[in-house]
Structure 1
């Protein structure tokens, strides 16, 4: 039996509050969602399907292929079940594997102990069957086995991703307080941007939002930036399947005539780094970078685009008094220069957001690191319609 062609449950995980955008991505790839939950979705498929998912998804973290479900009341139960599984049919010889886990059980107060019991079971099984001990370690550079264990329910997976898919791999110079690539993609997918009208991104920092916008518009998938996935280190891996999927990814990239993505920052170093990141992502020619105060950013007139900014919000960077003035200037800029646009402000400080002086039409929940955030959407009417200037209401 080949895992690459045998259907089983697949769990696709994501960071908190990205699940709705991940779910739509998975549907757009032609898969049926069997279950959606806070941090991911469940479908059914093969590891060949996992290859496609790993290469295509913007918002995902891991793609987990289920091997078995079982009951476990203790770490010994986990060991006793796993040592009977045919790991010699799953892991190559010679080979290297790592173990990760998500455990909520009263017998475990250190997740590393659960990982150790999984590792011991696999090592003992392979040593018995092959007469040699496989290499193991914490670096996710080979095969990865994942244990989910909650109460008495346990499930063992092959993690087909390895390193998290949420980091798309092109960003060589992250800058200060960088936005996670998967989060940036999700906020763009949550917006009303049509992928052809202007995308205006002041305070661009390391360029993540502008780069992700260019990738999404041109249908450039994150899988193009990685050359190592955990599925490559399993028994029966067929390079041709992977190469065929890569050819599909390359063929589907499109040009978007007339698209303008403008990214600015007051820091020359930030703009230089953002430009380098964009070149690494293959979209350097799609983004117009410039060094200026955000209020001097060009906004093309006579079109309906989006203004998208991720200002500091007082947790790690900047002082509150200065930021209050900045948020007020953001509101003034949107009112004066962005008529006919949708304005988006991503922030983790709703008190500062009040200083914008506009009423948000939508308040979309997101989460970054340990901070509860919102993507605030403002409809900036053109013509004679008055814009209401009131503070956003608290949730």
Structure 2
């Protein structure tokens, strides 16, 4: 039985609060999620399906193919159950593999011990069956086996991704406080942007949001920027399947005539870094970069589009008193220069957001690492409208 063509349970994980956007992506690829949960979705498919998921998903972290479920009271049970699994059909005896885990069991106070027992079981099995011992280590550059163990219920997966998919692979210079690529993509998917109208990104930093906007608009997938995945190191891997899927990525890239994406920052170094990252992503010709104060950012008029800003939160980079004035100026900029657009502010400081002086139409929950954040949506009316439509925030 080949796992490449035999359907089994697939778990696609993501960071917290990204599940709605991951589910949307999975459905657009033609898969039917059977279950959604806080950090991912579950579906049925083959490892060949995992290859397609890995190359296409923007919001995911890992694509895990389930190998075995079992009960385990302690680490000895883990060893016994996994030593009985036919690893010689999945892992190369002279290859390299790593172990990752998520463990919550009262007999384990260090997940590294659970990892060690998984590794021992696999190595002992392969040595007995093949006479060879594979190399192991912490780097996720080869095959990856993942253990999920909660209380007495355990499940072991082959991690077909390896390194996290949340980093899309083009960003060489991250900047001071970078937004993870999967998060940036999710916030854009959460917006009302039609992928054709102007996308304005003041305070662009290292350019992640503007670059992800260009990639989404042109249907350029993360698999274009990465050449190593966990599935490539499994026994029976057929490179022709991967090459066919990657070829599809090239063919589905779309030209968007007249697309205007503008990214600005007050820091000349930030704009220089953003240009380099955009060049690595192959979208530098789609983004107009400019060094200027955010309030001087060009906003094409008349028309509609999106203005997206990710200002400092006052938690890592700035002081609250200084940022209060900045957030107030953001509100003035949106009211005075962005009529007809939807404005989006991504922030981890809702008290500062009140200084913007506009009432958010939507507040979409995200995390930026461990920070509780919101993507605030503002409908910015063009011309004279009922002032109650753009009332100051008082709550």
- Compute the TM-score of the two structures, normalised by the length of structure 2: 0.99
Deviations 1:249-276 (A, max 9, x none): 0000011001100000000000000000
- 8 Å contact kept, 1:358–1:392: no
Matches within 5 A, 1:215-230: 215-230=215-230
Residue 208 of structure 1: aligned partner: 208
Residue 193 of structure 1: aligned partner: 193
Please say which of residues 381-390 and 189-198 is displaced more in the overlay: 381-390
- Whether 1:135 aligns to 2:138 is no
In 2: Cα distance, 1:389 partner to 1:287 partner: 33
- 8 Å contact kept, 1:353–1:392: no
In 2: Cα distance, 1:148 partner to 1:390 partner: 48
- 8 Å contact kept, 1:206–1:274: yes
In 1: Cα distance, 2:116 partner to 2:7 partner: 28
Shift of 1:152: 1.2
Residue 343 of structure 1: aligned partner: 343
- Whether 1:368 aligns to 2:368 is yes
Residue 392 of structure 2: aligned partner: 390
Residue 240 of structure 1: aligned partner: 240
Shift of 1:14: 0.1
- 8 Å contact kept, 1:143–1:230: yes
Deviations 1:276-327 (A, max 9, x none): 0000001000000000000000000011100000000011101111100000
- Whether 1:40 aligns to 2:51 is no
- 8 Å contact kept, 2:92–2:235: yes
Residue 340 of structure 1 aligns to a residue whose secondary structure is coil
Matches within 5 A, 1:253-268: 253-268=253-268
Residue 390 of structure 2 aligns to a residue whose secondary structure is coil
- 8 Å contact kept, 2:343–2:380: yes
What 5-or-longer segments of structure 1 have no aligned partner?
Answer: none
What 5-or-longer segments of structure 2 have no aligned partner?
Answer: none
- 8 Å contact kept, 2:342–2:378: yes
Deviations 1:111-167 (A, max 9, x none): 111110100000010111111211000000000000001111110000000000000
In 2: Cα distance, 1:300 partner to 1:108 partner: 59
Shift of 1:109: 1.1
- Whether 1:90 aligns to 2:124 is no
Deviations 1:82-123 (A, max 9, x none): 001000000013100000001111111111111101000000
Shift of 1:389: 2.7
Please say which of residues 104-113 and 182-191 is displaced more in the overlay: 104-113
In 1: Cα distance, 2:370 partner to 2:88 partner: 40
Residue 139 of structure 1 aligns to a residue whose secondary structure is coil
Please say which of residues 100-109 and 206-215 is displaced more in the overlay: 100-109
In 1: Cα distance, 2:53 partner to 2:300 partner: 36
Count, aligned residues: 393
Deviations 1:45-78 (A, max 9, x none): 0000000000000000000000011111111111
In 1: Cα distance, 2:27 partner to 2:113 partner: 37
In 2: Cα distance, 1:315 partner to 1:116 partner: 38
- 8 Å contact kept, 2:12–2:60: yes
In 1: Cα distance, 2:283 partner to 2:65 partner: 32
Residue 103 of structure 1: aligned partner: 103
Please say which of residues 384-393 and 254-263 is displaced more in the overlay: 384-393
Residue 318 of structure 2: aligned partner: 318
In 2: Cα distance, 1:392 partner to 1:110 partner: 48
- Whether 1:57 aligns to 2:57 is yes
Residue 85 of structure 2 aligns to a residue whose secondary structure is coil
In 1: Cα distance, 2:283 partner to 2:3 partner: 36
Deviations 1:166-224 (A, max 9, x none): 00000000010100000000000000000000000000000000000000000000011
Residue 79 of structure 1: aligned partner: 79
Residue 43 of structure 1 aligns to a residue whose secondary structure is strand
Shift of 1:392: 6.2
- 8 Å contact kept, 2:93–2:132: no
Residue 189 of structure 2 aligns to a residue whose secondary structure is helix
- 8 Å contact kept, 1:360–1:392: no
In 2: Cα distance, 1:103 partner to 1:12 partner: 18
